[in-house]
Amino acid sequence: MKLEGRVALITGAGSGMGRATALLFAAEGAHVVVDDIRPEAADETVALVREAGGAASPAYADVTDVEQVEAMIAQVAQDRGRLDVLYCHVGMPGAAGMDLTEEDWSASVDTNMKAAFFVASRALPLLRQAEGRGSVIFTASATGLVGSPYSPLYSMAKGGVVMLAKALAVHTAADGVRANAICPGPIDTPMLPRFFGREGTAGESGLDDELRGFLASSVPMGRAGQPEEIASVALFLASDDSSFVTGVALPVDGGITAR
């Protein structure tokens, strides 16, 4: 029960890594506020948490909209009276290559960078009241640490998230609020095939044989990660186990960035 009595807000928690983290945080004692722009996805995650005996409530904010972000944080303050853990997980693959439209650029930057900045910004007053245990976690990417040959735009946006985590860590250290970024490699979720320009073809994971073969040859550990492996790292960063860890961009990538 590493998060007993704490309140955690997770954006993009309607599926994949966000959902796995919501389930784990709740199992460790947190009340989890599950945000997703898709109400049905948020509700499903909340139902799964409650079926497992945990506590959760939904939020439906589009976190690229600052007014909706502010309303969500105000609701957390009203309903729960505190916020101990903020996991800014929302993201998107973005368009590949360099021949992009302005709309492509804005969609990626708004979803990956703007959302992270404004959710963290608006949540800080609550996090500063977390008795020195405030934790902000961002989902960046291994390609925010090394360049992506497929999507320079995605590398740019996720590299910005890495630097946001580092800067925020310094900005809030005296307030007892830590900030860190998780940098996943390829994770077996419905979103993964979109990085390769295809829709999912193998149920929940979306990985077909061709993609599995590619991952086996390109990831030193020979496979994609699982959402639960990201959730476990998020739990470490959310809990007192990482009480002296801040400003870190932690690769969880099967060895990709070690090359």
Active site residues: 154
Question: How far is CA 189 from its chain centroid?
Answer: 13
3-class DSSP string for 41-88 = HHHHHHHHHHHCCCEEEEECCCCCCHHHHHHHHHHHHHHHCCCCEEEE
Query: Which helix H or strand E contains 21, and what residues bound it?
Result: helix 16-27
The first and second tokens of residue 101, run together, are: 């439209």
Bridge partners (DSSP) listed for residue 57: 33
**What is the longest distance spanned by two Cα atoms in the chain?**
50
Position 106, amino acid: S
The radius of gyration computed from the CA coordinates of the chain, to the nearest angstrom, equals: 17
